[in-house]
């Protein structure tokens, strides 16, 4: 049966469309921007950036940031071990839109990085949104409402009159987690470790009561100290403690490539440094700090440092001439640096390819190993006794202090339940290994995005630019949800599976590394399968066709978000005319942006900014 419609066009009432109510136009303007709530977990590097960008780009926003620690900074607040520092140049380890040019050294200490992050929070007025000592205990997605229900425990502070913790629930349209990888530490599985009668401390939980780690070790000048581990943390601890203690024993389970800073030529040329006489820790002089205040030199210095790091990706290509050259270059550096103790070079230089494990510049580490008060021990630890460590070759070493620099839990398995669609638990879904779509989301968990997720680590560059793009991906998803009045956005299962297949073909070499959760064999779960620039291009322009959507409104019309055919300004009789809008978008300049998208509706709704990393919006 065919019946005429009101406008004279016949409608097929015998088809499926007869089961739905007739479509009517919405009574809202196209740029209505309904209220939108975001919960951010973590106030570290990614959480801070997320707080800034969601406010700048999503109008009519409510936002809460929950941080389990008592201050901002994430890993840079939690980690206070000796020598804690950035292992990429500080000029590259900062937000692309908020430049600091007076870093104390090329590889700045953790306390300086934390101070920088606190200053960013202050400049962007983010403090009112951050709730300290609030720990996420569970998160559950409600399929009916399309909202996340998050349970939060308000932790007791040291000055609190009660020891009880209060728990409450909060809800959000979009959940963003930026908890990072370097926050969950655990003791290594070594027999007898708990029976040691001396001081036993994990680098990830360094809290010995002093104002700084230097204060903590003032009385260690005659102590015998063991440092277990030769990852990035272990290298920094050994370098920092060598000249402050009596005897140091560095226990190594495996081997590692210890590279000189790949940017040392840039450091030398632009700052007129004599490399032969340069401070191995690359500390800036007052004259250099002043010179780097010059915008042209500072920008050139940063760009050449980033160029040097990003160009290193070519050496990750297995069995290529370039990788072979890098291998011989690093081998020569290690051999020369360990000339005083050549047996260490024989035990430390790996037989696996360069970049199978993270390359660490480790200024001062090889030099520390050559000092008379340092011993490098490769024999396996058999057990810890009440007075020291016994090795597999029968040696017993008497110790006063044991420092476990054995890393963190990098399995990506959350210590609390996150429940998605149909009761899916992320802890079960990510077995035997975690999977994601482009490192930012996963199927069965609508409206949940993350930074520092599986396969998000850049092997040869700064992680911050990657985090910025991951955050921006989540922000664009939030804008799409709000603009198109969506209840949910969820990546398709087949898209996750396709990304998984790509990862299976990229990484293969057998070597124990945290990239594989500390295993020799198995799947690389940490690294992005390409270069830094490759990752940024992949994330910059989302493939929205890889997602499924549910609409808030009960309609089958995918364009229901067009509303009643008018804009907010037209409905209210205020704001720009059409001619004014044309003039506005005819300008080419950019101006400094507001920190709140709600204050300027039109620019905030204009879509994706080609250069989102600048704190600007279209004029």
Go through the domains of the chain in sequence order and give each one's CATH number. Answer: 36-184+411-546 (3.50.50.60), 193-259+319-352+354-404 (3.50.50.60), 564-619 (no CATH)
Q: What is the pLDDT at residue 261? A: 74
**Residue 101 and residue 406: Cα distance in Å, rounded?**
33
Strands (E), 143-208: 147-154, 166-172, 174-177, 199-202
User: What does the angle CA 96 – CA 99 – CA 103 come to, to the nearest 5 degrees?
Assistant: 125
Q: What is the pLDDT at residue 516? A: 40
Q: What is the pLDDT at residue 599? A: 52
Q: What is the pLDDT at residue 321? A: 78
Q: What is the pLDDT at residue 323? A: 76
DSSP secondary structure letter of residue 261: P
Q: What is the pLDDT at residue 273? A: 74
Q: Which residues in the chain show pLDDT less than 70?
A: 1-23, 157-165, 180-183, 262, 274-281, 313, 315-319, 355-358, 408-411, 505-523, 575-619
Q: What is the pLDDT at residue 593? A: 43
Q: What is the pLDDT at residue 557? A: 84
Give the other-Cβ count within 10 Å of 111's Cβ. 17
For residue 34, what are its two tokens?
Answer: 């309904």
**Residue 62 and residue 528: Cα distance in Å, rounded?**
32
**Residue 266 and residue 597: Cα distance in Å, rounded?**
40
Q: The whole model's pTM is what?
A: 0.86
Task: Enumerate the H helices of 248-362 as residue ranges.
Answer: 264-270, 286-292, 295-310, 321-337, 342-348
Q: How remote is the C-alpha of 454 from its chain's centroid?
A: 11
């Amino acid at each position: 049966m065919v019946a005429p419609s009101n406008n004279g066009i016949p409608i097929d009432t015998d088809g499926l469309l007869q089961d739905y109510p007739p479509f009517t136009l919405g009574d809202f303007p196209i740029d209505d921007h309904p209220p939108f709530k975001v919960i951010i977990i973590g106030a570290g590097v990614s959480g801070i950036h997320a707080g800034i960008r969601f406010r700048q780009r999503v109008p009519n926003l409510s936002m809460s940031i929950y941080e389990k620690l008592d201050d901002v900074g994430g890993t840079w607040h939690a980690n206070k071990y000796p020598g804690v520092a950035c292992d990429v140049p500080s000029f590259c380890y900062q937000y692309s839109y908020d430049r600091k040019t007076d870093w104390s050294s090329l590889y700045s200490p953790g306390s300086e990085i934390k101070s920088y992050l606190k200053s960013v929070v202050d400049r962007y007025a983010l403090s009112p949104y951050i709730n300290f000592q609030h720990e996420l205990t569970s998160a559950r997605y409600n399929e009916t409402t399309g909202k996340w229900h998050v349970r939060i425990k308000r932790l007791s502070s040291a000055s609190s009159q009660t020891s009880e913790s209060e728990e409450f629930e909060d809800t959000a349209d979009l959940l963003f987690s930026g908890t990072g990888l370097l926050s969950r530490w655990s003791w290594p599985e070594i027999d007898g470790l708990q029976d040691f009668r001396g001081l036993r401390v994990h680098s990830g939980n360094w809290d010995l009561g002093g104002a700084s780690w230097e204060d903590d070790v003032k009385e260690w000048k005659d102590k015998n100290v063991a440092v277990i581990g030769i990852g990035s943390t272990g290298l920094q601890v050994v370098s920092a403690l060598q000249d402050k203690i009596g005897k140091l024993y560095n226990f190594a389970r495996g081997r590692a490539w210890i590279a000189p800073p790949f940017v040392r030529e840039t450091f030398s040329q632009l700052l007129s440094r004599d490399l032969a006489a340069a401070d191995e820790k690359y500390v800036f002089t007052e004259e250099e700090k002043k010179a780097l205040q010059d915008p042209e030199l500072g920008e050139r210095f940063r760009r050449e440092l980033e160029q040097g790091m990003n160009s290193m990706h070519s050496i990750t290509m297995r069995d290529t001439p370039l990788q072979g050259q890098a291998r011989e270059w690093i081998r020569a550096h290690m051999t020369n640096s360990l000339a005083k103790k050549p047996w260490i070079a024989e035990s430390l230089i790996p037989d696996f390819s360069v970049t199978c494990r993270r390359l660490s510049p480790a200024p001062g580490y090889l030099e520390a190993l050559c000092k008379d008060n340092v011993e490098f021990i490769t024999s396996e630890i058999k057990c810890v006794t009440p007075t020291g460590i016994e090795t597999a070759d029968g040696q017993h070493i008497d110790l006063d202090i044991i420092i476990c620099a054995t890393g963190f839990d990098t399995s990506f398995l959350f210590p609390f339940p996150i429940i998605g669609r149909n009761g899916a638990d992320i802890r079960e879904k990510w077995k035997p290994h975690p999977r994601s779509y482009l490192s930012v989301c996963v199927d069965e968990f609508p409206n949940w995005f993350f930074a520092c997720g599986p396969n998000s680590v850049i092997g040869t560059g700064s992680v911050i630019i990657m985090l910025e793009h991951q955050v921006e991906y989540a922000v664009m998803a939030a804008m799409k949800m709000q603009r198109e009045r969506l209840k949910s956005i969820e990546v398709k299962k087949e898209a996750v599976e396709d990304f998984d297949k790509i990862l299976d073909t990229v990484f293969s070499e057998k070597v124990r590394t945290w990239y594989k959760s500390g295993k020799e064999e198995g799947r690389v779960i940490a690294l992005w399968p390409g270069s830094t620039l490759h990752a940024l291009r992949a994330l910059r322009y989302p493939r929205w066709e890889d997602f499924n959507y549910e609409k808030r409104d009960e309609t089958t019309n995918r364009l229901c978000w067009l509303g009643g055919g008018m804009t907010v300004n037209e409905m209210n009789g205020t704001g720009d005319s059409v001619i004014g809008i044309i003039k506005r978008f005819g300008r080419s300049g950019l101006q400094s942006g507001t920190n709140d998208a709600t204050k300027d509706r039109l620019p905030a709704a204009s879509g994706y900014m080609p250069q989102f990393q600048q704190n600007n919006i279209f004029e």
